[in-house]
Amino acid sequence: MRYRKLDSDGDYSFGNGAADFWKDQPEAVAQAVQTRLFLFEGEWFLDSREGMTWNTQVLGVRTANTRDPAIRRRVLGTQGAKALLDYSSSLNRDTRGFSVNMTIDTIYGPATLSGVNV
């Protein structure tokens, strides 16, 4: 798996040749998971059904039973992801913040995503 790295602003990295890519590394899968989670359903013009169901299954009222299964499905549907080794989510009702921490077993080894905030 070859995956272009993102810079600190979340944009594609350019100008460094092969150093701009993850190649057959757990970080490639972790970044793929992260970008798949950040794509809202309906946001991609080529397939409006693609994306994370944040507005209908994760955020808002009456989503306590759907939010974690929806995120897990999205993560495990990512190319290179084999299993979730560790998963936790936290909802802060005062700040209306939601964050996810997880360790993913990938085809290249474990990868950790911490503080995926929405």
pLDDT at residue 24 greater than cutoff 80: yes
Strand partners, 90: 99
Whole-angstrom Cα distance, residue 84 to residue 86?
Answer: 6
- Domain locations in the chain? 2-117
Asked: is 2-117 a CATH 3.10.450 domain? The reply is yes
Q: Is the overall model pTM greater than 0.75, yes or no?
A: yes
pLDDT in tens, 55-94: 888 888 889 899 999 999 999 999 999 999 999 999 888 8
Q: For position 97, what pLDDT does the model report?
A: 85
Report pLDDT digits (tens) over 102-118.
999 999 999 999 877 77
98 phi and psi, to 5 degrees? Answer: -135, 130
Average pLDDT, the chain: 92
